[in-house]
DNA sequence: ATGCAAATGCAAGGCGTTTGCAAGTAAGTT
DNA sequence: AACTTACTTGCAAACGCCTTGCATTTGCAT
């Protein structure tokens, strides 16, 4: 899979038209280390790339999520954050100091899933783990 | 700690006036097996106990949360849910069929916390685990 | 080049939650 | 028991994040 310039093929493969906005959004998501909100995306696009409407950002992200290109996570501050789906299993660290979100690939689930099935007949289809605390920069003194 | 009738002492201890509404909300939370939304609380109060304003419900719940009497969890459907803080460590099962929320006391965290500290210098202060799937009643056929 | 379905901008709306303010009430003081 | 004062409540309006309807524009297959 080629790297950085154009996402036309990916979009086509998913049955979507390749547009300036969609390419720009995918590029921005690719460049962003950590999950970002729709509004952050919107502002960054407006300043650096192309004028775009916030509703287009939301619509585009929704489509990407439905195509599994993007992962959406709703955090405790009431805002959803989006990141490219690299198809790794991921969780998030949420810094209560600066609200930065960091993705990690560690996952402690494992046997709990089977235990729930046995104990209370609950079929797990997925899970979300948010870890709160202080990042390196915001450490408590 | 006495059981069911009146919460005046608890409220006083926390520096709050004991009011009809606050007692009713605490009672309802106590009677509710699983975490419930502010609106569910509001409706239940209106029908069974006392006319109350939705903003009062929110304000009261916020205070209870700030006093650590109640735990608030924001779920992926955009609604927060509230439950009495029994001071056990809890997580939630979220049924994607009927949107019922079930509290469990299992927790798979453990060593991940230390590992994060060592690996990326992140000081964990808390975490939230939401598990999605199908409850007994909504099992896939 | 042309035509059509899909994508976009715009403005309005939805939904859960919050807020400012005036009126009501709990509970300590007299 | 009445007085006082700060806390609590209802009401209506507003907020923040997100969604939607509709007219216009655009990608792209023909």
pLDDT band at B69; cut points 50, 70, 90 = very high
pLDDT at site B1? 40
Sorted by where each starts, the structural domains of chain A and their CATH numbers stand as: 1-86 (1.10.10.10), 88-141 (3.30.1490.190)
Q: Nearest residue to nucleotide C5 when comparing alpha carbons to its C1'?
A: A17
Residue B123 is nearest to which of A74, A120, A140, comparing CB atoms? A140
Q: Does A139 touch chain B (CB under 8 A)?
A: yes
Q: What's CA A97's distance to the chain center, in Å?
A: 20
Report which of B128, B124, B60, B40 is spatially closest to residue A140, judged by C-alpha positions. Answer: B124
Residue B4 has pLDDT above 50, yes or no: no
C-beta atoms of A120 and B136 within 8 A? yes
Beta bridge partners of A72: A82
pLDDT at site B61? 97
Interface test with chain A among B129, B130, B134, B136, by most A beta carbons within 10 Å:
B129
Q: Does A47 touch chain B (CB under 8 A)?
A: no
Residue B134 is nearest to which of A93, A110, A123, comparing CB atoms? A123
B99 touches strand C (CB under 7 A): no
- Token reading at B93: 């099962």
pLDDT band at B6; cut points 50, 70, 90 = low
Please give the average pLDDT of every successive group of 10 residues along chain A, which has 141 residues.
62 92 94 91 90 96 94 82 86 84 85 87 86 84 56
Q: Which residues 16 to 35 of A reach strand C, CB within 7 A?
A: 16-17, 19-22
Q: DSSP characters for B21-59?
A: HHHHHHHHHHH-SS-EEHHHHHHHHHHHT----HHHHHH
The pLDDT tens digits for B25-59 are 999 999 998 899 999 999 999 888 889 999 999 99
- Token reading at B120: 């990326």
- Nearest-by-CA chain A residue for B113: A131
Taking CB atoms and an 8 Å cutoff, what residues of chain B touch A131?
A: 112, 116, 122, 124, 126-127
The pLDDT tens digits for B83-137 are 998 877 888 888 877 888 888 888 888 778 888 999 999 998 888 888 888 888 8
CA distance linking residue A12 with residue A7, whole number of Å: 9
Q: Which residues 88 to 117 of B reach strand D, CB within 7 A?
A: none
pLDDT at site B3? 40
pLDDT band at B141; cut points 50, 70, 90 = low
């Amino acid at each position: 899979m080629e790297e950085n310039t154009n996402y036309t093929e990916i979009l086509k493969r998913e049955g979507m038209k390749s547009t300036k906005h969609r390419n720009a959004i995918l590029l921005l998501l690719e460049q962003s280390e950590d999950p970002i909100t729709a509004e952050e995306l919107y502002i960054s696009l407006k300043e650096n790339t192309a004028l775009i409407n916030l509703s287009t950002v939301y619509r585009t992200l929704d489509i990407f999520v439905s195509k599994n290109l993007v992962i959406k996570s709703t955090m405790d501050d009431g805002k959803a954050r989006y990141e490219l789906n690299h198809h790794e299993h991921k969780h998030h660290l949420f810094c209560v100091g600066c609200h930065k979100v960091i993705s990690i690939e560690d996952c402690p689930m494992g046997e709990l899933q089977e235990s729930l099935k046995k104990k209370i007949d609950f079929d797990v289809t997925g899970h979300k783990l948010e870890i709160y605390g202080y990042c390196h920069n915001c450490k408590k003194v």
